[in-house]
Amino acid sequence: MGPDLNVNGDVGVAEVDGSPTDDAASQPAPDSQTPPTEGNSLLGKTHGAIKLLTAWLGTKMSEVFHSKMRQSCERKENLLIKIVRLKRWFMRLKDK
């Protein structure tokens, strides 16, 4: 038989028994779970960047939250210490 044109424009020789040409056989079969990257490279990069940014923001927000919680607990402890001191001082004044 004569030459066949592949999808990408390469010329290959078709086999008589109907088997694919050498060029087509050397190409991997398309994976149904992998989205095509042709024309979607910008979209794929944007999606990846959004995922990274979301993860980074989540980490930063978590760090800020824990930092603020630590500060709040320290303030609470300091206020409790001051309350106890004031109560002792008041009790001493009352006893005089």
pLDDT in tens, the chain (96 residues): 445 555 555 555 555 555 555 555 555 555 555 555 545 576 677 888 888 888 888 888 888 889 999 999 999 999 999 999 999 999 999 887
Residues 24 and 67 in one domain: no
Q: What is the pLDDT of residue 57?
A: 86
Residues 25 and 45 in one domain: no
At a CB cut-off of 8 Å and minimum separation 6, what does 22 contact?
A: 12, 13
Residues 23 and 49 in one domain: no
At a CB cut-off of 8 Å and minimum separation 6, what does 2 contact?
A: 14
Q: What is the pLDDT of residue 73?
A: 94
Range of the domain at 47: 41-96
Residues 26 and 49 in one domain: no
Residues 50 and 87 in one domain: yes
Domain count, the chain: 2
Residues 22 and 52 in one domain: no
Position 67 in a domain:
yes
Position 36 in a domain:
no
pTM of structure: 0.42
Residues 14 and 45 in one domain: no
At a CB cut-off of 8 Å and minimum separation 6, what does 49 contact?
A: none
Position 47 in a domain:
yes
Q: What is the pLDDT of residues 23-43, one digit of tens each?
A: 555 555 555 555 555 455 766
Residues 49 and 94 in one domain: yes
